[in-house]
């Protein structure tokens, strides 16, 4: 490359910024952002539009999940504590599916020093029509003032059963519910 035709990165960047700013303001005035006082401000980028119904987060009830706690194994670790809790059984029920939790199922909990727990639930759901669905959940649980526990899980589903294939594409969120002697979540499908 000849010395008179070279360009520095800084000079190229400033030319690119100027060109982008001009294109933004001149090329599409509707997308130009305006600084206070009414002058175009290419440095702030395009203006944002209000949220519409198509991008608002929506959900619908998917199922209630009730887990029976089984034996606990405290594995221990350095800095954090690993606890494995078997799921001894349980039920799930929603408008499109219903059944029981079968073995092997459990929660591989990582207890942090600050009192927060990272949840790693893996459970086999058996529907009333004898189909199997693997449910895996990651989540967070922590105590709140008054002694209650705040927990949210993110269940994902996997199955080869034709009737329940739709579950393979579901994103969902579970909210801990108070059920005496059980671990229970109300699970919502994100639409």
d(CA 171, CA 23): 39
Judge whether 149 and 142 are in contact, CB under 8 Å.
Answer: yes
Q: Where on the phi/psi map is residue 95: left (φ > 0), alpha (ψ -120 to 50), or beta?
A: alpha
The series of mean pLDDT values per 10 residues for the chain, 191 residues long, is 50 46 39 42 51 82 97 87 95 98 96 94 98 98 94 98 98 95 96 95
Domain region containing 114: 59-190
Count CB-CB contacts under 10 A for residue 44: 12
Are 12 and 106 within one domain?
no
Question: Is 49 domain-assigned?
Answer: no
Global model pTM greater than 0.75: no
So what's the pLDDT on residue 77?
78
Are 87 and 18 within one domain?
no
So what's the pLDDT on residue 1?
45
Q: What is the pLDDT of residues 97-122, one digit of tens each?
A: 999 999 999 999 999 999 999 999 99
Are 169 and 113 within one domain?
yes
So what's the pLDDT on residue 52?
65
Counting the structural domains of the chain, the total is 2
Are 106 and 17 within one domain?
no
So what's the pLDDT on residue 116?
95
d(CA 15, CA 43): 14
So what's the pLDDT on residue 48?
57
So what's the pLDDT on residue 13?
47
So what's the pLDDT on residue 76?
83
So what's the pLDDT on residue 80?
87
So what's the pLDDT on residue 107?
97
69 token code pair: 């706690």
């Amino acid at each position: 490359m000849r010395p008179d035709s070279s360009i520095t990165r800084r000079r190229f960047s400033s030319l690119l910024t100027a060109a982008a700013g001009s294109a933004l303001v001149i090329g599409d005035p509707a997308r130009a952002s305006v600084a206070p006082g009414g002058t175009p401000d290419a440095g702030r980028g395009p203006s944002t539009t209000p949220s519409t119904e198509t991008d608002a987060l929506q959900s619908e009830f998917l199922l209630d999940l009730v887990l029976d706690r089984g034996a606990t194994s405290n594995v221990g670790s350095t800095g954090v504590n690993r606890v494995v809790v078997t799921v001894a059984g349980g039920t799930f029920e929603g408008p499109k599916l219903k059944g029981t939790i079968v073995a092997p199922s459990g929660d591989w909990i990582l207890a942090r020093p600050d009192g927060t727990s990272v949840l790693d639930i893996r459970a086999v759901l058996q529907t009333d029509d004898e189909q199997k669905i693997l449910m895996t959940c990651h989540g967070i649980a922590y105590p709140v003032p008054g002694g209650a526990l705040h927990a949210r899980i993110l269940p994902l589903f996997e199955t080869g059963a034709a009737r329940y294939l739709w579950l393979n594409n579901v994103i969902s969120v579970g909210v801990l519910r108070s059920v005496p002697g059980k671990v229970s979540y109300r699970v919502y499908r994100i639409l």
